[in-house]
């Protein structure tokens, strides 16, 4: 057996796990790893901030389905990953952060750039490790990759003391699958529960299928489509589930929840059966709990047993991988299941009426010379839909418009921060997505507030020659918070007005990218076309109306069927601000 340093062992472990790209930022605690990494054949992407490295790794993981890998130094390098770790873990994304640490003998002595990153990240990761010695490093790394990818995927941190990295040991990568006594994900559904689920599906008169992010993570999109078409089931998505069911399919209801579409929210509220797959019933989905899907029996398929009965009582729980759970249901249903087709036709007709009544309509109200942000998203969709783009977003109004007005027909095409809602996520996530799919059109839809939180990654994008396109929806304010202030805080716009901000065209040029601007409605299309015709990175700035609001909207603590601007009588009111 060849004796290697810990740094070399780590890199060999990465190769065994199929790692091709590592994101991160160097430092003294990890310099030995970088020394060997530079000649390893693996690609290292030098981001300009450690938080951005984690978001980039998440973008990479969300697009490929493979774990994203990050390498950072100790102290502030490690603490800068905290937001990214929390966001990835909440969104069930498999990423691994390897952080440098002071030598073992100095841990606990307030050494230079020492922090207890294992303690800090314990509540926000799926699991974390402190490497104890060079001899066991290979086993630990294999374990970490296994934990990150299996069951409900998540974020794992591995802390690497300097002397473990510089120490030497024989390299033996453990054969076979990692086995942990206390961690054994349950992937196959119980046959009796499958039978109960099928019985409810066949008896339902007003069913709705609710697909969350777990459908994409498990590769179950084809199974959701098959189940929906076999039983004529209308389908709604969570924000994280968008793309797991074709957005242009006639059975698609749109997104569910606080900014869900009218027909989706009403269908769930009036359903007699709700089948939730890979969705954790987030508060932004359910609204007021005691009013959520109150007439419905609930079937829930989730690989994470802690998600069952967590917020919503479930009539038929299936603790299983989404793909395996759906496969079992489809097998038991057979090709021509017997269900009440007349009742289903009436149900779909009712949904079609709701769809007409609550159609998205932003209308060019107010100043006819101003751009409505919804129109930007619509135009972007029309001009790119046949190019199969990957869309990333930051967080805020533009994120919701990207969920409402851009239709996603395939999984892993909509990359957003759902659970934690991280401003500054979109640009580095686009970076990671473009690294993963160099041939794809990758567009970051950003707000003028969010984009500045990680704007330094334009340097990385330019240096790596990544043709990322950025659409900045510039309304001069923190739009979502301002919307709440308008509706619920007497129009007191405290600390949400940003002003004109930087000149994004000149800023893009300063970074070495191209910048284009649209300030009038007729300039939107040409600006997008100019960006698409440019082979390199482009920042598109759209000067939009500040008054535009995201509708529908459910106020906090309200029934999701009670949507603004639709009153209790469900009469259509003004839309779009």
Task: Please give the mean pLDDT across all residues of the chain.
Answer: 95
Phi, psi (rounded to 5 degrees) for 282: -60, 150
Which residue carries 């992407």 as its tokens? 45
- Contact indicator for 372, 544 with CB cutoff of 8 Å: yes
Q: Is 428 helix (H, G, I), strand (E, B) or coil?
A: helix
My answer on whether 118 and 63 are in the same domain is: yes
DSSP label of 154: -
Q: Give 567's pLDDT tier (boundaries 50, 70, 90).
A: low
My answer on whether 216 and 308 are in the same domain is: yes
Specify if 563 maps to a domain.
Answer: no
My answer on whether 200 and 242 are in the same domain is: yes
Lowest model confidence (mean pLDDT) among 154-163, 459-468, 564-573: 564-573
User: Is 563 annotated in the active site?
Assistant: no
Tokens standing for residue 463: 């240096």
pLDDT for the residue numbered 364: 53
Residue 573 has pLDDT above 50, yes or no: no
Q: Between 2 and 34, whose confidence is greater? A: 34
- The predicted model gives 232-236 an average pLDDT of 98
User: Is 50 annotated in the active site?
Assistant: yes
Phi, psi (rounded to 5 degrees) for 535: -70, -25
Tokens standing for residue 493: 């716009």
Specify if 362 maps to a domain.
Answer: no
Residue from 208, 199, 225, 234 nearest 338 by CA = 199
Tokens standing for residue 340: 């009440």
pLDDT for the residue numbered 317: 97
Residue from 449, 482, 455 nearest 468 by CA = 455
pLDDT tens readout for residues 491-524: 999 999 998 789 999 999 999 999 999 999 999 9
Specify if 350 maps to a domain.
Answer: yes
CB atoms within 10 A of CB 65: 16
My answer on whether 396 and 509 are in the same domain is: yes
Tokens standing for residue 232: 């004529």
Residue from 546, 529, 548, 547 nearest 538 by CA = 529
pLDDT tens readout for residues 441-457: 999 999 999 999 999 99
- Contact indicator for 401, 373 with CB cutoff of 8 Å: yes
Specify if 316 maps to a domain.
Answer: yes
- The predicted model gives 128-148 an average pLDDT of 98
My answer on whether 216 and 141 are in the same domain is: no
User: Is 162 annotated in the active site?
Assistant: yes
Please give the Cα distance from 347 to 232 (Å, whole number). Answer: 10
pLDDT for the residue numbered 574: 33
Residues paired with 208 in a beta bridge: 274
Tokens standing for residue 181: 């006594």
My answer on whether 211 and 339 are in the same domain is: yes
My answer on whether 334 and 398 are in the same domain is: no
Task: Count how many domains the chain has.
Answer: 3
- Contact indicator for 130, 5 with CB cutoff of 8 Å: no
My answer on whether 404 and 512 are in the same domain is: yes
Q: Give 1's pLDDT tier (boundaries 50, 70, 90).
A: low
Residue 206 has pLDDT above 50, yes or no: yes
Specify if 141 maps to a domain.
Answer: yes
My answer on whether 41 and 126 are in the same domain is: yes
Catalytic residue among 423, 480, 553, 563: 480
Distances in Å between the Cα of 136 and the Cα atoms of 101, 165, 306 are 17, 12, 31
Distances in Å between the Cα of 467 and the Cα atoms of 116, 375, 385 are 38, 24, 18
Residue from 490, 489, 493 nearest 478 by CA = 493
Catalytic residue among 113, 350, 364, 456: 113
Lowest model confidence (mean pLDDT) among 88-92, 219-223, 425-429, 561-565: 561-565
Residue 365 has pLDDT above 60, yes or no: no
Catalytic residue among 12, 17, 50, 464: 50
Distance from the Cα of residue 270 to its chain's centroid: 28
Contacts 24+ apart (CB under 8 A), 527-530: 528/379, 528/380, 528/383, 528/384, 528/471, 529/383
CATH number assigned to the domain comprising residue 344:
3.40.50.1220
- The predicted model gives 174-192 an average pLDDT of 92
Specify if 180 maps to a domain.
Answer: no
Boundaries of domain holding 494: 373-543
My answer on whether 353 and 377 are in the same domain is: no
Please give the Cα distance from 537 to 520 (Å, whole number). Answer: 23
- The predicted model gives 152-180 an average pLDDT of 95
- Contact indicator for 257, 281 with CB cutoff of 8 Å: no
- Contact indicator for 183, 17 with CB cutoff of 8 Å: no
Rg of the chain over all Cα atoms, to the nearest angstrom: 24
pLDDT tens readout for residues 396-439: 999 999 999 999 999 999 999 999 999 999 999 999 999 999 99
pLDDT tens readout for residues 57-93: 999 999 999 999 999 999 999 999 999 999 999 999 9
Specify if 179 maps to a domain.
Answer: no
CB-based burial, 111-122: b 16+ in 10 Å, e otherwise: bebbbebbebbe
- The predicted model gives 380-386 an average pLDDT of 98
Q: For the chain, give percent helix, strand, coil, nearest 5.
A: 40, 20, 40
Range list of H helices, 464-546: 479-488, 504-511, 524-533
- Contact indicator for 515, 504 with CB cutoff of 8 Å: yes
User: Is 112 annotated in the active site?
Assistant: yes
pLDDT for the residue numbered 2: 81
CATH number assigned to the domain comprising residue 44:
3.40.50.970
My answer on whether 320 and 199 are in the same domain is: yes
Catalytic residue among 142, 162, 297, 469: 162
pLDDT for the residue numbered 500: 74
My answer on whether 400 and 345 are in the same domain is: no
Specify if 122 maps to a domain.
Answer: yes
What is the pTM (predicted TM-score) of this model?
Answer: 0.96
User: Is 504 annotated in the active site?
Assistant: no
pLDDT tens readout for residues 268-311: 999 999 999 999 999 999 999 999 999 999 999 999 999 999 99
- Contact indicator for 25, 72 with CB cutoff of 8 Å: yes
């Amino acid at each position: 057996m060849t004796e290697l340093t810990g740094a070399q062992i780590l890199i060999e472990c990465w190769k065994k796990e199929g790692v091709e790209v590592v994101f991160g930022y160097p430092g003294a605690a990890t310099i030995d790893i970088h020394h060997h990494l530079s000649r390893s054949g693996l690609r290292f992407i030098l981001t300009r901030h450690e938080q951005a490295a984690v978001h980039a790794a998440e973008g990479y993981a969300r697009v490929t389905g493979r774990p994203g890998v990050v390498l950072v130094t100790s102290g502030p390098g490690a603490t800068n990953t905290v937001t990214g770790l929390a966001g990835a873990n909440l969104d069930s994304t498999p990423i691994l952060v390897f952080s440098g640490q002071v030598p073992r003998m100095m841990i606990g002595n307030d050494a230079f750039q020492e922090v207890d990153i294992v303690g800090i990240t314990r509540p926000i990761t799926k699991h974390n490790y402190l490497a104890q010695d060079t001899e066991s490093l290979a086993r630990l790394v294999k374990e970490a990759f296994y934990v990150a990818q299996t069951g409900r995927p998540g974020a794992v941190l591995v802390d690497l003391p300097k002397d473990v990295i510089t120490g030497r040991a024989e390299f033996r990568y453990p054969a076979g699958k990692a086995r942990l006594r206390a961690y054994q994900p349950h992937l196959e559904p119980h046959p009796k529960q499958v039978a109960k689920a099928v019985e409810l599906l066949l008896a339902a008169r007003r069913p709705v299928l609710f697909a969350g992010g777990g459908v994409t993570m498990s590769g179950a999109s084809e199974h959701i489509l098959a189940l929906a078409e076999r039983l004529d089931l209308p389908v709604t998505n969570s924000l994280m589930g968008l793309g797991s069911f074709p957005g242009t399919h006639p059975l698609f209801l749109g997104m569910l929840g606080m900014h869900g579409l009218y027909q989706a929210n009403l269908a769930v509220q009036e359903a007699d059966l709700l089948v939730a797959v890979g969705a954790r019933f987030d508060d932004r989905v359910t609204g007021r709990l005691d009013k959520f899907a109150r007439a419905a029996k609930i079937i829930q398929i989730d690989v994470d047993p802690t998600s069952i009965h967590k917020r919503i009582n479930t009539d038929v729980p299936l603790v299983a991988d989404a793909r395996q759970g759906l496969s079992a249901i489809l097998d038991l249903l057979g090709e021509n299941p017997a269900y009440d087709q007349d009742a289903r036709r009436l149900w779909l007709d009712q949904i079609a009426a709701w769809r007409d009544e609550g159609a998205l309509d932003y209308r060019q109200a107010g100043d006819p010379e101003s751009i409505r942000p919804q129109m930007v998203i619509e135009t972007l969709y029309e001009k790119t839909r046949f190019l199969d783009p990957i869309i990333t977003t930051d967080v805020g109004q533009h994120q919701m418009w990207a969920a409402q007005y851009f239709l996603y027909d395939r999984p892993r095409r909509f990359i957003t921060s759902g659970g934690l809602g991280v401003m500054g996520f979109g640009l580095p996530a686009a970076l990671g997505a473009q690294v993963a799919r160099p041939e794809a059109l990758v567009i970051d839809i950003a707000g003028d507030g969010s984009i500045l939180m990680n704007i330094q990654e334009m340097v990385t994008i330019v240096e790596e020659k990544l043709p990322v396109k950025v659409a900045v929806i510039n309304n001069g304010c923190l739009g979502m918070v301002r919307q709440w202030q308008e509706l619920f805080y007497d129009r007191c716009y405290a600390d949400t007005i940003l002003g004109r901000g930087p000149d994004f065209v000149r800023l893009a040029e300063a970074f070495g990218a191209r910048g284009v601007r649209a300030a009038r409605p007729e300039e939107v299309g040409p600006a997008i076309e100019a960006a698409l015709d440019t082979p390199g990175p482009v920042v598109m700035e759209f000067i939009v109306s500040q008054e535009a609001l995201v509708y529908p909207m459910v106020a906090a603590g309200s029934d999701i069927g009670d949507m603004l601007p639709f009153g209790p009588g469900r009469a259509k009111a003004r839309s779009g601000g």
